[in-house]
Amino acid sequence: MAVETSISDKLRLLWNLQQIDCQLDEIQILKGELPMEVSDLEDEIEGLDTRIKKLKAVIKESDQEVARLQNLGKEADANIKKYQKQMEAVKNNREYEALQKEIELARLDVQLSEKKVKDARMQIDGKKETLTITEARFDAKQKDLEAKKQELQGIIEKTEQEEQTLRSRSEAARNGIEERLLKAYDKIRRTYRNGLAVVGVSRNACGGCFNNVPPQVQLEMGLYKKIMACEHCGRILVDNTIALQQEVEA
């Protein structure tokens, strides 16, 4: 008789813990994917912020390069004017040809500088366009984040007290269950998305996987000689006597 009472008590404790954890699960379902969405948005915004800073740095460097190239072009243009003035005072063909060559080289420098400036400005325009798009996306994601944070905070405020109470009850319920059973309970809960580890039997079917529970198994459940598990899903089975009694007590 002592063994039967012991098994019965263990099943009652497990069933009670499952009911409390189911209520906690319902709160998490109410929150839905919001916590994960908030976290993902925060990561995405951080990545966009990093990209914006890099784009701004690249644009700044490119502007500095354009200014450098323009200065080189101005220097080359100034040299052309200087050489042209010097040509007015040449005394022989050799000096004239040397200056002419310098002018030609300076003109090539001007042309090269102008081409590089044009290319650099095209790249800058492309980077600025990308920056504008990225900043717009950053702002949109920021608005999404604030909206989801407010929504999540609203749910948390409504359920915080209830959740704290349930967690305290869950912890208290766990303290009365032996470690071996708790490990099995937690393992089964992690296995299934609905978190059901302890289920009743309804219409001869497992309350977790809805497969048939043989009459012999149901008979053994009522004897409370050992803890029975569904042969299909491995969930711990509780007979209606315990389930209904716990509902009345709740």
Q: Residue 33's pLDDT band (boundaries 50, 70, 90)?
A: confident
- Most confident range (mean pLDDT) of 101-115, 132-146, 213-227 is 132-146
State the chain's mean pLDDT as an integer: 90
Q: Report the distance separating Cα 27 and Cα 71, nearest Å.
A: 66
Q: Identify the pLDDT of residue 51.
A: 96
Output the pLDDT for position 3.
Answer: 37
Taking domain 34-160, whether its CATH number is 1.10.287.1490 is answered by yes
Map out the domains of the chain as residue ranges.
Answer: 2-31+178-249, 34-160
Give the burial string for 118-131 (b: 16+ CB within 10 Å, else e): eebeeebeebeeeb
- Whether residue 222 has pLDDT greater than 70: yes
With CA atoms as reference, report the closest residue to 74 among 101, 19, 113.
113
Q: What's the confidence (pLDDT) of residue 246?
A: 54
